[in-house]
Every structure is written in structure tokens, then in C-alpha cells.
Structure 1
Amino acid sequence: MKDHPQRPPPSAAHFAHPMPQHPPMHPARPVGRALPYREDHAFALAQRHDLRSRLLARTLLDDDELAARKIAAGLVQKERRLQREDVLAIEILVQAVVVAGAVGQQQRRRPHLARVVATLQHARQRLRKAAVFAQPLRPTVGDPR
């Protein structure tokens, strides 16, 4: 790079140019659009492209998630014709999950014995404070004050 400062990076794995004369990043790709010029892709993609390492907030905080909408299995089967080997994964993704009842939140419980011991210690502290206030406020007979 010392002899050729205008040369692009030699490897295809680097998406940003190393020299400051070149633009440091490419614009983020649009999310959720159909692939152009393909007959088997009538629906938009559910995930972004994997070029997440560019310096934009939208791409730095990117997470891989499933689609947030329902797609009918019949439409997908009709339009895409399910040509690839991942047919089973596509069928699993479009199935609805039915919740039979509310799921209780799991909470940790402390042992009952610890609560009893803490209550007893709290009661002892109150008794000690009451005993201190019950003593006379004047000096006793042998007190050198």
C-alpha cells in the first residue's frame, strides 16, 4: 500500500477502503425488499444481508431475527415452488404456535427458614434498643464522670 496509495484493497473480504481518499463506508442496504430479476422470489426477504460491519448505527446494532409477519404457506409454496433443500425449515417457519394457557413467570423464592431467622434478629435488635432507653440517664454511684 506504500507504493500504490490509490489502489483498492487487495482482498475481497475487506468492505471498507484503507485509504482516506476513498469513501470509508458504503450506504446501508434497504431492508425488506424483493430480489430483482428473479422469477422465484416474489416475497421480500426476512433477514438483511450479512454485511453488518459498516459504521452505521442501523448495521452495528443489527440482530438476525425472523420475519415479524405471517406468510401463508400456500402462497410461499405457489410462488417460490420450494426448490431448495431447506424445504423443512420453510415449513416450520410458517406454522403458527398456539398457546394453550398463560405461562407463569418463574420466580426465585428464598427459604422460609431465612425469613424466620431474619425476623427474630430484627426483634432482638428492637429489644436491645428498648433496653438501652430504659436505663437511667443519670450517672450511677461508681461512675467517675
Structure 2
Amino acid sequence: MQLDKISRNILSILQQDARITNQNLADRVGLSPSSCLNRVRKLEQAGLIGPYLGVVDLAALCRTVTVIATVSLKDQSTDAFRAFQQTAEAIPEVVECYTVSGSFDIFLRIIAPDMSRYNKINDRLLDVLPGMVNISSHVVLNTGKPFRGYPLDELLDS
């Protein structure tokens, strides 16, 4: 789908405020409310936006431990990767899972209520392929820049 400047602007605004009213969004991008709503619906139908999520302030809500885990698999087969990823997907506390290139194979972001629960998650991941998984855990001490949307102008102009 080709995006003109208005559609790109709509995407940028919705990244920052998904609860903006259609009227305010239309005003900000210079469209009538009906034209703006039609564009948003087309962007949704094309799969370019959605689902809409709320950002929860976990520190205000409860105590948590965030762990960045890098995983190396000794078995580089497709079946081994699939088995590990299926297990990671089944663990609710694993909130992100990426297969990556470089010195390790998989990158995980895990949010657990405490280290005891993290240790259980770690053990479960190690047991997927006994003796074939190496996990290096990095406890997050501070979040310097939380994710707040993609830099669309920079990405789409290159």
C-alpha cells in the first residue's frame, strides 16, 4: 500500500495517541471527519495499524523484574528453533521473542513478578532442548528510553 503524506501523518499521530477522537485527528491532518475515518479504516484493513494497546505503568501497578535474555541453541535445526519459540510463546511473561543474527540466536524480553518466577521460566526454557540451550540473563536496572512508536518519517523517507 502506497502511503501519502496524510496517511503517514495519521499513522504517526495514532502511534502517539490511539485514543484521539476522529474529529481531532481530522483537524490535525487537514481532512473532513468522514475522509479521515475512511483513511483510518483502510489503514486498519491493510493491516498497517492495530491492534490498539494501552501502555501500562507497571512500576505504579506492581513490582516486577524485567530480564533481557539472549539464547544460543546448540541444535541449529528448524525443529529446534520451532520448539523453543513455541515454548516461549506459551509463557505469558515472555513479552517479546526475536530470532536474530550474531553471537546468539534468540532475544527475549521477560517481565516476571520476581526472580523466583523468572528462575522457573528460565528452567522451563532450558528444558525445551535439554543440554542444547544456553541462556544469558540480563536484569534491567533502568529503562532509559521506552518504546513509544516507530520513527516513521525517518524510516519511510529512506
If the TM-score is normalised by the length of the shorter chain, which range does it land in? under 0.3
TM-score, length-scaled by structure 2: 0.19
* TM-score, length-scaled by structure 1: 0.20
Q: Which structure has more helix as a fraction of its residues?
A: 2
Larger radius of gyration: 1
| Greater length-normalized contact order (CA 8 Å, ≥ 6 residues apart) | 2
